[in-house]
């Protein structure tokens, strides 16, 4: 296991968005599904330090063989600290530097992941060629190598989603959290992104929030289901598909080829859930 929570809870006034969740992520692809308001994005925000929990803990164990293998409490860490620890994420809404080149977007992310020594105000960016090399390798992996010198705002929506994945990969995190990566992407683009997720999962632990159930069933080793902030199921895809409780709470008779899922934009307490 590389990431786990115990009793993780978040309340917004009288609304409990995440309710006492015990969860573990290993070297696998796990999808987190559930209806609008279930608490999925709020859960992501708790894992990455965007939100502070009302109760409970978040612990992380790096896969670096040089570490002592012990668990580190990151409950109170801010987003920069969790990212440096090795937990990176993408967002529901595309979050890139639109007027910078594709290469610069990923190079900056790689440099940020390099820690304090990678930022020297008196040194030109050319003094850190390793970050550009890393960025180019990542762009090759996500299929954007030919767009390296292109301004990010000119990319198609699907290409921008791939760029977000590239940014999240910078610094070689142990855990990658992908929040609605296929949102707004055409069917052809979804096939390409699904293949990319499979490729990434070969050397990263992946936690995925996704409403397209065909994608979820294809890429997941395991599926966890949130409903009204509580974890109501956590099992292999086939068991989740056949669960009457999950059918009642979310899937509603889903069959392969019927992407299913609901509009992801509903929010709880100001946080998309």
Shared domain for 29 and 101, answered yes or no, is: no
3-state secondary structure 119-133: CCCCCCHHHCHHHHH
Shared domain for 118 and 225, answered yes or no, is: no
| pLDDT of 239 above 50 | yes
Question: What's the pLDDT at 259?
Answer: 58
Shared domain for 197 and 258, answered yes or no, is: yes
| pLDDT of 265 above 50 | no
In a domain, 227, yes or no: yes
Question: What's the pLDDT at 252?
Answer: 75
Selected residue with higher pLDDT from 120 and 240: 240
pLDDT (tens digit, 9 = 90+) per residue, 5-60? 999 999 999 999 999 999 999 999 999 999 988 999 999 999 999 999 999 999 99
What does R_g of the chain's alpha carbons equal in angstroms? 18
- Band the pLDDT of 115: cuts 50, 70, 90: low
Which residue intervals of 90-148 are DSSP H helices? Answer: 102-113, 129-142
Shared domain for 82 and 180, answered yes or no, is: yes
Mean pLDDT for 100-124 is 74
Shared domain for 126 and 259, answered yes or no, is: no
pLDDT (tens digit, 9 = 90+) per residue, 172-199? 999 999 999 988 888 888 998 899 999 9
What is the rounded CA–CA span in Å between residue 78 and residue 140?
A: 30
- Mean pLDDT score of the chain: 86
In a domain, 31, yes or no: yes
**Contact assessment for residue 108 and residue 97, using Cβ atoms and an 8 Å cutoff:** yes
Shared domain for 129 and 182, answered yes or no, is: no
For 156, the domain range is 96-172
Listed residues 172, 205, 237: the one ending a domain: 172
Shared domain for 183 and 80, answered yes or no, is: yes
Question: What's the pLDDT at 264?
Answer: 39
Q: Is 73 exposed, middle or buried (0-12, 13-18, 19+ CB in 10 A)?
A: exposed
Shared domain for 75 and 103, answered yes or no, is: no
Which residue intervals of the chain are DSSP H helices? Answer: 40-47, 79-85, 102-113, 129-142, 157-169, 187-200, 213-219, 237-242, 244-246
How many domains does the chain divide into?
A: 2
Listed residues 139, 156, 172: the one ending a domain: 172
Listed residues 172, 198, 216: the one ending a domain: 172
In a domain, 118, yes or no: yes
Shared domain for 188 and 266, answered yes or no, is: yes
| pLDDT of 126 above 70 | no
Question: What's the pLDDT at 100?
Answer: 94
């Amino acid at each position: 296991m590389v990431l786990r929570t115990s009793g993780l809870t978040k309340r917004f006034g009288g609304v409990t968005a995440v309710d006492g969740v015990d969860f573990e992520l290993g070297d696998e692809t796990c999808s987190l599904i559930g209806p609008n308001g279930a608490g999925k994005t709020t859960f992501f925000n708790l894992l990455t330090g965007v939100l502070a929990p009302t109760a409970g803990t978040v612990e992380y164990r790096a896969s670096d063989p040089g570490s002592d293998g012990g668990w580190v409490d990151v409950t109170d860490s801010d987003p920069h600290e969790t990212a440096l620890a090795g937990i990176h994420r993408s967002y529901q809404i595309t979050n890139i530097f639109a007027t910078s080149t594709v290469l610069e977007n990923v190079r900056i992310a790689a440099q940020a992941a390099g820690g304090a020594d990678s930022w020297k105000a008196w040194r030109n960016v050319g003094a850190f060629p390793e970050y550009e090399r890393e960025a180019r390798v990542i762009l090759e992996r996500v299929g954007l190598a030919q767009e390296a010198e292109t301004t990010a705002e000119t990319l198609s929506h699907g290409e921008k989603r791939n760029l977000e994945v590239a940014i999240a990969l910078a610094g070689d995190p142990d855990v990658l959290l992908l929040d609605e990566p296929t949102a707004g992407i055409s069917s052809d683009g979804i096939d390409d992104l699904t293949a990319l997720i499979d490729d990434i999962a070969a050397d990263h632990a992946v936690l995925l929030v996704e409403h397209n159930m065909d994608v979820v069933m294809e890429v997941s080793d395991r599926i966890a289901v949130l409903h009204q902030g509580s974890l109501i199921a956590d099992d292999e895809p086939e068991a989740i598909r056949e669960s009457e409780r999950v059918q009642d709470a979310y899937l509603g008779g889903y069959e392969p080829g019927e992407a299913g899922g609901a509009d992801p934009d509903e929010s709880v307490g100001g946080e998309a859930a």
